[in-house]
Structure 1
Amino acid sequence: MATECGLPSVGNEALWPCHGAMIALWQFMVTAHRIGNIRIDVRGREHNPPHVHIDGPNGPVRVFLNDMTVLGSRKAIRASGEALAWVEANRQALLQLWEELNP
């Protein structure tokens, strides 16, 4: 079963399409989207508040989905502009996926 965005529910499938991108399910991590060499992940077994991880060559960034608070180095945040815009545009679907992975 998929979310409105096409993001997956936790299951045994390996790949699902979402907004023209492919996302892969590992044991407790879903790569929701890739932009070049930047990866946006939703991880299971995580702490509150709900958040996503943006991993790129300039370092990690964490985005809290409830209020779009962004944590990371200035360099990493500046380099993640397009990823941050994608997270904001898909915030509801990402929040739903976070809740599925973190019951």
Structure 2
Amino acid sequence: MKRIDQILDECSSAVSLAQLSECLDSLFTEGYSIAADGALYEAKHEVGRIKGMKIEIRPREHAPPHFHVTKGDIDASFSIEDCSLLAGSIGSREQRLIEFWHTKSKGSLVKIWNETRPENCPVGATRL
């Protein structure tokens, strides 16, 4: 069962305001949002945290397939295909470490990208 389905089941079976508040907390902290049509979707998928840096893949995104790295003054996005810096800023040391990590993680990044595409995602799945 997907995590979103678990949260929805918990919300549906909640009998108190405290339980509903826990559902809302899960929706906020786990990165969910509401589409224009009222559907719940995962707004971001945290791939990992490294020394305070968050690495995320966001489901409703633009091409090319990419991931985000954020921490304090770091806010950058990288191509899943070749780890090229697409946008943002990151120190050279951190960028080299992300590039090294990418060489080991590319297969997992492709898998997560594909698993998190919503049905109406304009980019869709990738075969990188």
Shorter-chain TM-score tier: 0.5 to 0.7
Q: Distance in 2 between matches of 1:33 and 1:84?
A: 15
1:98 pairs with 107, 113, 120, which one?
A: 113
Aligned counterpart, 1:20: none
Q: TM-score, normalised by structure 2?
A: 0.54
Give 5+ residue unaligned stretches, structure 1.
2-9, 15-23
Report the AA paired with residue 40 of structure 1: I
Shift of 1:79: 4.8
Give 5+ residue unaligned stretches, structure 2.
8-28, 33-42, 118-123
Aligned counterpart, 1:32: 47
| Cα RMSD after superposing both structures | 2.4
Aligned counterpart, 1:6: none
Larger % of helix: which?
2
The answer to whether the aligner puts 1:54 opposite 2:69 as a matched pair is: yes
Question: Could you say what secondary structure the match of 2:114 adopts?
Answer: helix
Larger % of strand: which?
1
* Residues paired across the two proteins, number: 84
- Relative contact order (C-alpha < 8 Å, sep 6+): which is higher? 1
Q: TM-score, normalised by structure 1?
A: 0.65
